[in-house]
Structure 1
Amino acid sequence: MPRTYVVTGSASGIGRATADLLAERGHRVIGVDLRDADVNVDLTTEQGRADLVSGVADASDGRIDAIIANAGLATPIAKAAAVNYFGTLATLERLRPLLAGSDAPRAVATASMASLFPPDDALLDAFLAGDEPTALARAAELEAGTPEEANLIYGTSKRALARWIRRNAAGPDWAGAGIPLNAIAPGVVVTPMTEAYTNTEEARAAILEMVPMPLNGIFQPRDVAYLLAWLTGEENAHLCGQVVFIDGGSDAVIRGDSTW
């Protein structure tokens, strides 16, 4: 039966591949992005988050079946903190009421295997406290610092997102309302966002030193789309609060026996 999906970050990369896959399967897709989407908004801003809700409500007649909160930035700038964490939470929490009319409501967010890397503790604490001004101020400090410091923004935002999923998925707003909420944690995927790491053999070798992917190496967005489609499909009725690493084995190599 056709379902109605909201996919943020739908104009490129994993979001576009997921939107295309769902459309091919006969589902209705409401794409959200900065441009070239059904709903064009900037999720780093409060106005953009408000426009997201009104735009999706208008496009869906107030009823959706699934949220795929995929929009994000991998660049080492403070805006990445705004969209990766606060924009993603706004997408999930503010669109959740539109799931109420679905017989099989589902939600998933895109985290990253970079959530395994050591975070910036001050930024992580601000994220988890829900303090956006403090988080953005700390992210701006990191952006202005060394390249190593700036690179902490992305992984820290994704670690905070994974923790938020774990802390909230089994609660009354999600599991209590019959909504499976989960996340994925991709490894290195060939997208415009990762072009600098994948466009030459030298670059690919360097990123694989940092992100070991023994199973088939760097992969295409379509491979992630299949997982997102299953997580938000009717078949997934019981997976709750899981961060599913689709990373060619990075999680297993880096953490070994350790688990969340």
Structure 2
Amino acid sequence: MGIRTYVVTGAASGIGAATADHLEKGGERVIRCDVRDADVTADLTTPPGRERLASEVTAVSDSRINGLIAVAGSAVPSPLTARLNFFGTIATLESLRPLLAGSDQPRAVAVSSLSAIVAADDTIVDACLSMDEEAAVAAVTAAVAAGRGRIVYPSTKLALNRWLRRAAVSPAWAEAGIPLNAVAPGVVDTETARTMFLDDPATRALVSSMMPQPLGFPGPVSAIVSLLAWTVSPDNLFMTGQILYADGGAEATLRP
């Protein structure tokens, strides 16, 4: 089996960077995508940025990729989070799907979040699933104005989960032989997590109580990386449409 070509978004830092490093160490070719420090620089919060990603990845890959790992995301309570986490991710998956369809043993995976089972705003979720980006932005803006900014991130991830479950078994993906899945991490030890809440004892205690992880809090980034790599490997022969919780047991604790 020859070298496989993978596209990783959000590859400049965190889980995305660690995943890209892991694949490269395994001898694979990786096209790193991000807003900075990447092979392809594109802002997935905007339509022009999404178009740029598709066109540049098409050019540098010679129109063929074996795997797509959509990691790029944001947890900031802002309309940009909806634009990136949902609409940017969907645009990435859909625009690069033709490059997968023309390759050997194609696979795709997106990064979701355990937080999607903890809380969500139905207005945000419904606007996303209606593919109405401006309505979703308006719903996020209203939630933030009402002091409910923390609901934005899990809402966008829940919408992503629901979209992915439907898309994975559709003719465009399943009948084309492209497994599409998601990995939903719990709290793992990334720089972003440390900055946002792990370094603050009170916030850390609050988050750990909301998302209990019996195997340890926070979890290791390597656990997420290895799972992402497996989902897009040739070894994943028959799994699609799944949300894989890599969360130290949190989902099983919260939904026994």
Q: Which residue identity does 1:188 align to in structure 2?
A: V
Separation in structure 2 between the aligned mates of residue 49 and residue 161 of structure 1, nearest angstrom = 17
Q: Which residue identity does 2:149 align to in structure 1?
A: A
Cross-structure match for 1:216: 216
Q: Which residue identity does 1:122 align to in structure 2?
A: T
Counterpart mapping for 1:71-150 below 5 A: 71-146=72-147, 149-150=148-149
Separation in structure 2 between the aligned mates of residue 205 and residue 94 of structure 1, nearest angstrom = 40
Counterpart mapping for 1:1-260 below 5 A: 1-146=2-147, 149-195=148-194, 196-256=196-256
Separation in structure 2 between the aligned mates of residue 132 and residue 179 of structure 1, nearest angstrom = 26
Q: Secondary structure at the match of 1:175?
A: helix
Separation in structure 2 between the aligned mates of residue 219 and residue 122 of structure 1, nearest angstrom = 31
- TM-superposed CA distance for 1:201, in Å, is 4.6
TM-score by length of 1: 0.95
- TM-superposed CA distance for 1:217, in Å, is 2.4
Contact 1:30 1:56 in 2 (8 A): yes
Separation in structure 2 between the aligned mates of residue 168 and residue 34 of structure 1, nearest angstrom = 27
Q: Which residue identity does 1:116 align to in structure 2?
A: I
Deviations 1:56-81 (A, max 9, x none): 01111111001101100011111101
Separation in structure 2 between the aligned mates of residue 187 and residue 177 of structure 1, nearest angstrom = 31
Contact 2:101 2:178 in 1 (8 A): no
Q: Secondary structure at the match of 1:31?
A: strand
Separation in structure 2 between the aligned mates of residue 251 and residue 117 of structure 1, nearest angstrom = 9
Separation in structure 2 between the aligned mates of residue 34 and residue 192 of structure 1, nearest angstrom = 17
Percent of aligned positions that are identical:
48
The Cα RMSD (Å) is 1.1
- TM-superposed CA distance for 1:192, in Å, is 2.6
| Deviates most, 106-115 or 117-126 | 117-126
- TM-superposed CA distance for 1:97, in Å, is 0.4
Q: Which residue identity does 1:87 align to in structure 2?
A: G
Separation in structure 2 between the aligned mates of residue 167 and residue 199 of structure 1, nearest angstrom = 38
TM-score by length of 2: 0.96
Separation in structure 1 between the aligned mates of residue 140 and residue 200 of structure 2, nearest angstrom = 30
- TM-superposed CA distance for 1:204, in Å, is 3.0
Q: Which residue identity does 1:179 align to in structure 2?
A: I
Contact 1:182 1:243 in 2 (8 A): yes
Separation in structure 2 between the aligned mates of residue 55 and residue 193 of structure 1, nearest angstrom = 28
Contact 1:73 1:193 in 2 (8 A): no
Q: Which residue identity does 1:238 align to in structure 2?
A: F
Q: Which residue identity does 1:26 align to in structure 2?
A: G
Deviations 1:80-122 (A, max 9, x none): 0110000000000000001122110000001100110231111
Deviations 1:5-46 (A, max 9, x none): 000000011000000000000000001111001111110000
Aligned residues: 254
